[in-house]
């Protein structure tokens, strides 16, 4: 960004933050409400155009000057909130899993099955299946970087040129599926944010296991839809595939190491800590131990995992050096963005601002009497639009906060939280939609002009699957 553009955008963002308060407040919003709305809009604008991190600090600083927060309260509502801490722990655990080599081993295992040699479709299905599995547990950045390297190796060995149909099918499959698989579980960052907001707003929780059980079938269908896209829309040339022997990749991994084994076991223990309370509840199992673990919050199992990874050593080195992991494995701008937006969401809906009353009064006539199905659809579409235009975290926060203002029934709100959380990862159209998609636009193996139209088809199909399958499933699991 050149200096002129930077200062123009900075000026616009600061103008919202400092001058919006002087606009007369529409009843029943208060002057304080206009000030908070200005800080909110300015922060979102600066995040989108200037920098992803420092606007969060600026927002907290300005909110302390309002009657809503003193310094201690502001820190508690931002850095002290459990969601940023939970996201941080997820990123550290994901880093350890990738660093150990276990993620790479799982991928190559899928690609080297005998079935993968039978046909290009079998290979592609197994190749994408490894993404489907790892996408439940591993952070998107590491996965996309690894798979893009694998695609270059595969295409080069087979003799496919850059931007060929075969390369396009693999690159888009990696980008779309890795990004979307982030909607799989409640311990994925953007999903966790929305579920955390729901918990704050209602005092109830959507369990990890319940959410994952709900998201699984829609994701399987989205996975299947992409294979149909390859067959009927992308239509790659498979004539050169016969030259490829996937088993040659086996030499890249060697024997499984103690580091992989111990890291995998610890990660599974953490996942069990997240899933067991919800699973036990669904099955009607009474257990004091499981209930106690569930009462410790979602962060507790993750912290136990981080401690074990730091304590257990292999050949004199810890499974995860926390100092290195914090430097290499944590995109801190995401943490700061979440920190700022958590307090902004809280401030915006504070009764003293009058924003909730104004927003409800203004838009409620449009949704008055709307069915749960319609609200479910609004949540999915609204979030998908926002997430493809900008930050996924902001999309989830803004979409849920605004939709939630129109819903008074906690049970309906729970159902609507699901498509909002899921749709934060239906982000496959623009470079701004998701970092992984931005990386795809810069990939030499695909014509970047094809990403937007294919991404649009993928998003529309994702929403259609959510409505056709996700909605009835939500009523069965959460009804």
Percent of the chain with pLDDT over 70: 94
**Contact predicate 401/349, CB 8 Å:** yes
State the first-to-last Cα distance of the chain, in angstroms, to the nearest integer. 49
222 confidence band (pLDDT: 50, 70, 90): very high
Question: Does 8 score more than 90 pLDDT?
Answer: yes
Mean pLDDT of 251-265: 86
Task: Name the pTM for this structure.
Answer: 0.73
Question: Does 390 score more than 70 pLDDT?
Answer: no
**Tokens coding 62:** 């300005």
Q: What is the torsional sign of CA 29, 31, 32, 38?
A: positive
Mean pLDDT of 2-29: 93
pLDDT of residue 202: 86
Q: What is the torsional sign of CA 20, 25, 26, 27?
A: positive
pLDDT of residue 229: 96
Mean pLDDT of 152-172: 89
Helical ranges in 114-188 per DSSP H: 120-134, 140-158, 165-181
Residues in the chain: 479
Q: What is the pLDDT of residues 141-161, one digit of tens each?
A: 667 767 887 788 788 878 889
Within 8 A by CB and 6+ apart from 188, the residues are 90, 182, 425
pLDDT of residue 248: 64
pLDDT of residue 246: 63
251 confidence band (pLDDT: 50, 70, 90): low
Mean of per-residue pLDDT scores for the chain: 86
Nearest-angstrom CA–CA distance, 295 and 287: 12
Compute CA distances 472 → 24, 276, 282, 369, 416, whole Å: 45, 24, 17, 20, 12
Mean pLDDT of 395-422: 87
pLDDT of residue 86: 80
249 confidence band (pLDDT: 50, 70, 90): low
456: left (phi over 0), alpha (psi -120 to 50) or beta: alpha
Nearest-angstrom CA–CA distance, 416 and 419: 6
Nearest-angstrom CA–CA distance, 185 and 120: 30
Helical ranges in 284-331 per DSSP H: 288-295, 299-311, 322-328
Strands 317-318 and 313-314: antiparallel
Across 6-15, 103-112, 463-472, least confident range: 103-112
Nearest-angstrom CA–CA distance, 194 and 400: 7
Q: Of 108, 54, 449, whose CA–CA distance to 246 is shortest?
A: 108
Helical ranges in 203-257 per DSSP H: 208-229
E-assigned strands of 82-185? none
The residue to which tokens 């939500």 are assigned: 474
Percent of the chain with pLDDT over 90: 41
Mean pLDDT of 108-113: 77
**Contact predicate 446/176, CB 8 Å:** no
- Is residue 27 exposed (0-12), middle (13-18) or buried (19+ Cβ within 10 Å)? exposed
HSE-up (13 A, CA, CB side) for residue 254: 4
Across 10-14, 253-257, 374-378, least confident range: 253-257
217 confidence band (pLDDT: 50, 70, 90): very high
């Amino acid at each position: 960004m050149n200096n002129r553009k930077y200062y123009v955008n900075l000026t616009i963002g600061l103008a919202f933050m400092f001058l919006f308060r002087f606009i007369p407040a529409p009843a029943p919003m208060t002057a304080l409400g206009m000030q908070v709305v200005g800080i909110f809009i300015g922060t979102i604008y600066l995040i989108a155009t200037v920098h992803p991190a420092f606007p969060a600090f600026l927002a907290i600083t300005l909110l302390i000057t309002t009657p809503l927060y003193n310094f201690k309260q502001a820190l508690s509502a931002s850095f002290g909130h459990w969601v940023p801490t939970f996201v941080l722990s997820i990123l550290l655990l994901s880093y350890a899993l990738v660093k150990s080599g276990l993620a790479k081993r799982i991928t190559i295992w899928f690609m080297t099955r005998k079935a993968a040699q039978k046909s290009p479709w079998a290979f592609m299905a197994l190749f994408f299946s490894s993404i489907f599995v790892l996408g439940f547990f591993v952070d998107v950045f590491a996965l996309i970087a690894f798979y893009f390297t694998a695609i270059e190796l595969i295409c080069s060995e087979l003799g496919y040129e850059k931007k060929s149909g075969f390369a396009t099918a693999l690159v888009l499959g990696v980008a779309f599926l890795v990004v979307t698989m982030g909607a799989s579980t409640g311990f994925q960052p953007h999903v966790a944010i929305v579920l955390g907001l729901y918990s704050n707003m209602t005092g109830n929780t959507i369990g990890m296991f319940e959410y994952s059980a709900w998201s699984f079938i829609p994701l399987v269908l989205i996975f299947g839809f992409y294979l149909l896209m390859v067959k009927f829309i992308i239509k790659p040339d498979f004539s050169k595939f016969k030259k490829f022997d996937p088993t040659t990749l086996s030499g890249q991994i060697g024997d499984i190491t103690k580091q992989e084994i111990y890291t995998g076991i610890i990660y599974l223990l953490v996942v069990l800590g997240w899933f067991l309370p919800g699973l036990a509840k669904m099955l009607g199992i009474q257990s004091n131990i499981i209930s106690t673990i569930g009462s410790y919050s979602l962060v507790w199992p993750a912290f136990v995992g981080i401690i074990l990874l730091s304590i257990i050593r292999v050949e004199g080195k810890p499974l995860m050096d926390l100092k290195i992991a914090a430097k290499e494995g944590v995109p801190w701008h995401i943490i700061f963005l979440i920190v700022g937006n958590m307090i902004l969401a809280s401030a915006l809906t504070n009764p003293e601002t009058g924003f909730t009353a104004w927003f409800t009064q203004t838009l409620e006539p449009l949704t008055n009497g709307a069915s749960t199905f319609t609200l479910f659809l609004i949540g999915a579409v609204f979030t998908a639009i926002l997430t493809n235009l900008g930050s996924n975290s902001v999309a989830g926060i803004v979409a849920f906060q605004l939709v939630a203002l129109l819903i008074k029934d906690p049970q309906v709100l729970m159902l609507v939280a699901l498509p909002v959380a899921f749709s934060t990862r239906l982000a496959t159209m623009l470079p701004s939609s998701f970092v992984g998609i931005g990386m795809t636009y810069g990939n030499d193996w695909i014509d970047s002009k094809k990403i937007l139209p294919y991404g649009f088809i993928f998003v529309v199909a994702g929403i259609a699957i959510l409505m056709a399958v996700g909605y009835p499933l939500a009523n069965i699991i959460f009804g």
